[in-house]
């Protein structure tokens, strides 16, 4: 039985590949695939944002090699950044409750 961390890693890989390649390179997300992934997998996050160009900005920020696609390494950067932001938010909330 895999550990929680191993299961989380497996989930990241599975989610990425569930969306990548439906319209091209099977190991990359184009803008449409990235948008579909974000809409399906990060619904609450997107709903809370007010910027209509958010997906385009995320794509631009992630696409470090400027090929108009997001590979797995670039995708992991997004997940890591969001995870850090969520952790910071929850720690801040815990600090406020403790006061």
Q: Which CB contacts under 8 angstroms, 24+ apart, belong to 41-50?
A: 41/15, 42/82, 45/82
- H helix or E strand, kind and range, residue 81: helix 72-98
Kindly report the pTM of this predicted structure: 0.79
pLDDT above 90 for 18: yes
- Asked if residues 35 and 55 have their Cβ atoms less than 8 Å apart, the reply is yes
CATH code of residue 17: 1.10.238.10
pLDDT (average), residues 70-81: 90
Range of the domain at 78: 4-98
How many independent structural domains does the chain possess?
1
Per-residue pLDDT tens digits for 45-60: 777 777 777 777 887 8
Query: Encoding tokens for residue 58?
Result: 């995320």
In which band, very low, low, confident or very high, does the pLDDT at 99 lie, cut at 50, 70 and 90?
A: low
Query: Encoding tokens for residue 89?
Result: 């938010």
């Amino acid at each position: 039985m895999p550990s929680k961390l191993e299961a989380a890693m497996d989930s990241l890989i599975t989610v990425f590949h569930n969306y990548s390649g439906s319209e091209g390179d099977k190991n990359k997300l184009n803008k449409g695939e990235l948008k579909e992934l974000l809409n399906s997998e990060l619904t609450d996050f997107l709903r809370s944002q007010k910027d209509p160009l958010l997906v385009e900005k995320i794509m631009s920020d992630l696409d470090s090699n400027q090929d108009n696609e997001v590979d797995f390494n670039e995708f992991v950067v997004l997940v890591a950044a969001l995870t850090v932001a969520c952790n910071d938010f929850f720690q801040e909330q815990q600090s406020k409750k403790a006061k």
